[in-house]
């Protein structure tokens, strides 16, 4: 029975194989004859030139490779610090166990969202983003089309997205609400020149640094941004949205750590020409009603 | 009763050599810096090409002389009381020492200076030091940090440098700041909120400096920084409050650039280090002690010699008491005072490899805070003008912070931290008001000054091991951009101590060797 892998799994397997090949070849043993030879003084006193960098080497008298025969068994990679890390015992306190578990979960999340260069090179940035988002529960809409593309719940394969580079597919809108997107995951969404609509509603890991990345990436094109219920966002992150000159709609709400939110939004309305900010109440309407004066 | 010298010679047989051959003079080949000599003249290699000036090369070939280091006079303590002190009984709950039960008598790694560099190095070392594996002590003169450069700094973070090492260090600094809340938190300890303002840096260049800016930009983008070049027209479109007279090109940082709160980061490092077991000692370094070690003869490499190894530091406590701490390695992270303290270790007072002193001295810089109702508003990056003046927004109430590095002949005195307001009126305000017309109507609110740990040699950090004192490391001399590089430098020093070489970022070009070889590594973008 023929097993059909998706293109992405092909790429992953190819990369794994390539990596395993290079690691074997780098561990070549050092020949014995080179150790007994005399110290090369010319090499020691001359500065090594790496590209344009000159490294000043004052002559080293005691050089390990020339004096120990055990260098034959050493590998190029150094394990000194790794040995110390492994020796760090797992703390069997409730805090220690929880910390180990949290680190494990974070590492898992990071590895699931790390930027894969081959995917972007093969599919082009727009389709790579679409594949990345749809596979993790997001929705994407292309320029010129009206339907949102999501993962088909019945099958693992995304039948509606092309698996090769097609130039006419430009991502215009991305709906990432309630996805577990992290800062490193946003790197998969770079080089998109046509993104106009972005929703990050309810994403728990979005904070000021992610907003900095978003305003740096889509500063010229984004027109609609929704960051409701992103609990880690503060007013500094929202102030950094002043870099997006074409922003027309900004939807806020549910930011417990944003202290001067109303002031920042007023200042944003001064700077950005076409902005409308929804979800912000500038003053309490009930205070404007005339109070019943009792004399 | 007994002759002290004879007793010492009997107890330490390797030092007997000294006493016997005291009157005989012979040339001693110093360890670490000699060209090996062969018994057979034909085997001698060709003279290598000269890195250093000829007269200095002769000095390097000869012996490195380590002068006897000035020992402060230890106060007389009654011998019975002294024996109780040695037993550790009277050291308990000593209020003179800061945060310690017993005064530490020895440690593995001693860090001189408890600013951002010292605390970062302590954190990185202890994090890898496996619970109680490494004993790390930080000697800090003033735990309230009244004159420390760290807390008085403007707190900028930028990747717009011209050296690849600086760019890589700042990129890692940004990554560390992003993760600092998690990394610097512990059981019962909440991580710091560094309050990063992601507004970027804007460097303006005239026609003369445009080529340098373009070259820098190419290098920065190749290493992963997100910088955008803007022409004068685009600059005016993006920032309508700017006056683009004389500006040919500008470079704006799009990501990972801005400013943050240095106090939070310092406290974060310090509290995490304390939680992991680093000991902070409130004392001032007043002297070092060396121990003569005989280096045995190695056939094919060199004759036997005498090497003065740094063994012990003398510190003075608040009440004048002088105590000693034995160490295995010492890290110099004292900031602006590093040059002065290094001299106590003989660096700069000897010959050969000890001839060059650490070229770090304090330089005073002023920072002024003013209110400008017609200023740029929210979208104001930290703008560095063509004249060298810089300004940035502070808070949301229309306040701005500005400053300028003075020219060489205008350097203010460093005796105290008093502010010179005429410098603002004559130098800073005209430049800033010319660049931003909205700054013509301002009101100066306050000002402060701080020291740069200025490297007079080439204004870049000195990071590495001293060639003679191989257990003495430097992490100082950053001349104003040390705060953003502190996490990367801490990690680099940790790699040097635990591994012997750099693993992540190669900072060999910043070693102290460049001072001896007289080959500076200049940074073009100094603010």
A86 contacts chain B (CB < 8 A): no
- Find residue A171's DSSP bridge partners: A142
- Selection from B270, B254, B252, B272 nearest residue B262 by Cα: B270
- Nearest by CB to residue B198, choosing from A47, A58, A208, is A208
Minimum distance, in Å, between the CA of residue B397 and any CA atom of chain A: 9
Pick the CATH number of A117-294 from 3.20.20.140, 3.40.50.1110, 3.40.50.11890, 3.80.10.10: 3.80.10.10
In this complex, how many residue pairs, one in chain A and one in chain B, have their CB atoms less than 8 Å apart? Answer: 122
Residue in chain A lying closest to B60 (CA) = A58
**What are the average pLDDT values for consecutive 10-residue runs of chain B, which has 527 residues?**
37 47 36 41 46 64 69 62 62 43 81 96 83 84 93 94 94 95 89 94 92 93 94 94 93 95 95 89 92 79 79 89 91 95 92 90 95 91 93 93 90 91 94 94 94 93 92 94 95 88 90 90 75
How many angstroms separate the first and last alpha carbons of chain A? 93
- Find residue B404's DSSP bridge partners: B389
- Nearest by CB to residue A80, choosing from B130, B226, B498, is B498
Summary count for chain A: helices (H), strands (E): 11, 8
Q: Which two tokens stand for residue B194?
A: 């560094």
Block residue for tokens 């005209």: B430
B36 contacts chain A (CB < 8 A): yes
- Nearest by CB to residue B45, choosing from A42, A88, A219, is A42
Q: Is A61 within 8 Å of B45 when comparing Cβ atoms?
A: no
Q: Is B256 within 8 Å of A260 when comparing Cβ atoms?
A: no
B413 contacts chain A (CB < 8 A): no
Quickly count: other Cβ atoms within 10 Å of residue B103's Cβ.
Answer: 20
ipTM: 0.79
- pTM of the full predicted structure? 0.81
Contact A213, B224 (CB under 8 A): no
Element (H, E) at B326: strand B322-326
Minimum distance, in Å, between the CA of residue A99 and any CA atom of chain B: 9
The span from the CA of B153 to the CA of B265, in Å, is 12
Q: Is B48 within 8 Å of A271 when comparing Cβ atoms?
A: no
Residue A75 three-state SS: coil
The span from the CA of A176 to the CA of A181, in Å, is 8
Contact B515, B466 (CB under 8 A): no
Q: Is the dihedral of CA B91, B92, B97, B102 positive or negative?
A: positive
Quickly count: other Cβ atoms within 10 Å of residue A257's Cβ.
Answer: 15
Q: Which contacts (CB < 8 Å, 24+ apart) does range B268-272 have?
A: B268/B180, B268/B184, B268/B191, B268/B192, B268/B194, B269/B116, B269/B119, B269/B120, B269/B122, B269/B123, B269/B184, B269/B486, B270/B114, B270/B119, B271/B184, B271/B189, B271/B192, B272/B123, B272/B183, B272/B184, B272/B185, B272/B186, B272/B189
Residue in chain B lying closest to A242 (CA) = B379
Interface of B with A in 127-166 (CB under 8 A): 128-131, 133, 164
- Selection from B342, B286, B267, B272 nearest residue B122 by Cα: B272
The set of residues, in sequence order, having a beta carbon less than 8 Å from that of B193 and lying 6+ positions away, is: B181, B261, B264
Whole-angstrom CA distances from B510 to A57, B414, B466, B503 are 12, 26, 12, 15
Domain boundaries, chain A: 82-108, 117-294
A242 contacts chain B (CB < 8 A): yes
- Nearest by CB to residue A240, choosing from B36, B198, B301, is B198
- Selection from A260, A204, A200, A205 nearest residue B195 by Cα: A260
Ranges of residues in chain A with a pLDDT under 50 are: 1-5, 22-52
The span from the CA of B398 to the CA of B394, in Å, is 7
Confidence at residue B47, expressed as pLDDT on a 0 to 100 scale: 46
- Nearest by CB to residue B36, choosing from A39, A89, A236, is A39
């Amino acid at each position: 029975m023929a097993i059909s892998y998706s293109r992405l799994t092909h790429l992953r397997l190819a990369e794994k194989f390539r990596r395993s090949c290079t690691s074997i070849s780098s561990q070549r043993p050092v020949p014995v004859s080179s150790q007994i030879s005399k110290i090369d003084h010319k090499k020691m006193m001359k500065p090594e030139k790496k590209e344009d960098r000159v490294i000043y080497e004052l002559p080293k008298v005691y050089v390990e490779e020339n004096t120990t025969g055990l260098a034959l068994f050493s590998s190029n990679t150094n394990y000194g610090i790794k040995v110390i890390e492994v020796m760090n015992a797992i703390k069997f306190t409730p805090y220690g166990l929880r910390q180990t578990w949290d680190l494990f979960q974070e590492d898992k999340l990071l590895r699931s969202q790390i930027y894969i260069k081959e995917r972007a090179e093969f599919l082009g940035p727009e389709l790579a983003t679409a594949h990345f988002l749809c596979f993790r529960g997001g929705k994407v809409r292309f320029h010129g089309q009206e339907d949102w593309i999501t993962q088909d719940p019945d099958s693992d394969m995304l039948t509606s997205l092309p698996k090769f580079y097609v130039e006419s597919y430009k991502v215009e809108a991305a709906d990432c609400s309630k996805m577990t997107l992290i800062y490193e995951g946003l790197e998969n969404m770079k080089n998109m020149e046509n993104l106009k609509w972005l929703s990050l509603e309810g994403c728990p890991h979005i904070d000021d640094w992610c907003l900095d990345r978003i305003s740096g990436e889509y500063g010229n094109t984004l027109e609609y941004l929704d960051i409701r219920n992103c609990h880690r966002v503060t007013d500094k992150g929202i102030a950094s949205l002043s870099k997006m000159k074409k922003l027309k709609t900004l939807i806020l709400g549910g930011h417990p750590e944003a202290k001067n939110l109303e002031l920042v939004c007023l200042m944003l309305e001064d700077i950005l020409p076409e902005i409308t900010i929804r979800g912000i109440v500038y003053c309490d309407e009930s205070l404007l009603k005339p109070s019943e004066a009792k004399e | 009763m007994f002759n002290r010298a004879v007793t010492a010679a009997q107890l330490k047989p390797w030092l007997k050599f000294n006493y016997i051959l005291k009157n005989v003079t012979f040339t001693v080949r110093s360890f670490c810096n000699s060209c090996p000599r062969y018994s057979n003249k034909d085997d001698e290699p060709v003279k290598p090409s000269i890195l250093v000036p000829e007269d200095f090369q002769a000095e390097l070939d000869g012996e490195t002389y380590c002068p006897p280091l000035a020992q402060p006079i230890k106060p007389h303590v009654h011998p019975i009381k002294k024996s109780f002190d040695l037993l550790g009984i009277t050291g308990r709950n000593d209020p003179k020492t800061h945060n310690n039960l017993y005064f530490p008598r020895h440690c593995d790694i001693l860090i001189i200076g408890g600013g951002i560099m010292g605390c970062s190095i302590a954190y990185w070392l202890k994090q890898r030091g496996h619970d109680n594996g490494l004993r790390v002590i930080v000697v800090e003169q003033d735990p309230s940090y009244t004159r420390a450069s760290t807390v008085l700094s403007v707190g900028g973070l930028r990747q717009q440098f011209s050296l690849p090492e600086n760019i890589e260090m700042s990129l890692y600094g940004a990554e560390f700041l992003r993760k600092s809340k998690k990394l610097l938190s512990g059981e019962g300890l909440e991580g710091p909120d560094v309050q990063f303002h992601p507004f970027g840096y804007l460097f303006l260049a005239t026609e003369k400096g445009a080529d340098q800016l373009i070259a820098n930009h190419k290098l920065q983008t190749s290493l992963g920084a997100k910088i955008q070049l803007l022409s004068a027209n685009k600059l005016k479109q993006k920032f309508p409050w700017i006056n683009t007279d004389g500006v040919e090109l500008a470079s704006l940082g799009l990501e990972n650039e801005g400013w943050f709160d240095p106090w939070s980061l310092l406290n974060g490092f310090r509290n995490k280090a304390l939680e992991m077991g680093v000991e902070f000692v409130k004392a001032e370094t007043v002297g070092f002690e060396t121990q003569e070690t005989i280096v045995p003869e190695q056939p094919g490499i060199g004759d036997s010699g005498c090497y003065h190894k740094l063994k012990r530091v003398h510190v003075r406590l608040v009440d004048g008491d002088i105590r000693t701490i034995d160490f295995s390695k010492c890290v110099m992270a004292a900031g602006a005072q590093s040059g002065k303290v290094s001299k106590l270790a003989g660096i700069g007072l000897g010959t050969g490899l000890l001839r060059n002193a650490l070229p770090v001295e304090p330089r005073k810089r002023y920072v002024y805070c003013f209110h400008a109702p017609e200023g740029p508003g929210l979208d104001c990056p930290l703008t560095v003008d063509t004249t060298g003046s810089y300004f940035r927004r502070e808070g949301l109430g229309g306040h701005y912070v500005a400053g300028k590095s003075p020219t060489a002949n205008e350097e203010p005195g460093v005796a105290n931290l008093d502010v010179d307001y005429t410098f603002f009126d004559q130098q800073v305000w005209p430049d800033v008001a010319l660049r931003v017309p909205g700054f013509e109507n301002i009101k100066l609110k306050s000002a402060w000054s701080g020291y740069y740990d200025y490297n007079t040699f080439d204004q870049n950090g000195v990071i590495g091991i001293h060639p003679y004192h191989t257990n003495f490391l430097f992490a100082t001399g950053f001349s104003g951009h040390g705060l953003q590089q502190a996490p990367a430098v801490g990690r680099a020093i940790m790699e040097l101590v635990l591994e012997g070489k750099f693993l992540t970022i190669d900072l060999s070009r910043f070693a102290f060797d460049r001072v001896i070889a007289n080959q500076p590594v200049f940074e073009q973008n100094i603010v």
